[in-house]
Amino acid sequence: MKILGICSSPRMEGNTFYYLKTALSEAEKLGAETELIQLSGKKISGCRTCYECVNAKKCTQEDDFQEIFEKITRADGLLLASPVYHSCITPEMKCVLDRAGFSGRWAKNEMKETKSSYEWKGSALSGKIVAPVTVARRAGQNFAFAEILLWAAANDCIIVGNTYWNVGVAGKGGAYNANEDQEGIGIMTRLAGNMVDVIKKLNAEVNYEQA
Q: Predicted confidence band at 90 (pLDDT cuts at 50, 70, 90)? A: very high
Tell me what the mean pLDDT of segment 177-192 comes to. 98
d(CA 191, CA 23): 7
pLDDT at 206 over 70: no
Q: Kindly report, residue by residue over 127-146, the tens digit of the pLDDT.
A: 999 999 999 999 999 999 99
What is the pLDDT, as a whole number, of residue 208? 63
pLDDT at 211: 57
pLDDT in tens, 101-126: 999 999 999 999 988 998 899 999 99
In degrees, to the nearest 5, what angle opens at C-alpha 192 toward C-alphas 127 and 204?
Answer: 45
- Radius of gyration of the CA atoms of the chain, in A: 17
Domains of the chain: 2-210 (3.40.50.360)
Write the pLDDT tens digit of every residue in 37-68. Answer: 999 999 999 999 999 999 999 999 999 999 99
Q: How far apart are CA 105 and CA 49, in angstroms?
A: 14
Rounded Cα gap, residues 110 and 120, in angstroms: 9
Phi, psi of 163 (to 5 degrees): -80, -10
What is the residue type of 65? F
CA–CA distance, 93 with 80 (Å, rounded to integer): 8
**10-26 pLDDT tens trace:** 999 999 999 999 999 99
Question: pLDDT band at residue 179, thresholds of 50, 70 and 90?
Answer: very high
Task: For residues 62 and 163, give the distance between their C-alpha atoms in angstroms, rounded to a whole number.
Answer: 40
CA pair distance 35, 156, nearest whole angstrom: 22
Provide the mean pLDDT of the chain.
96
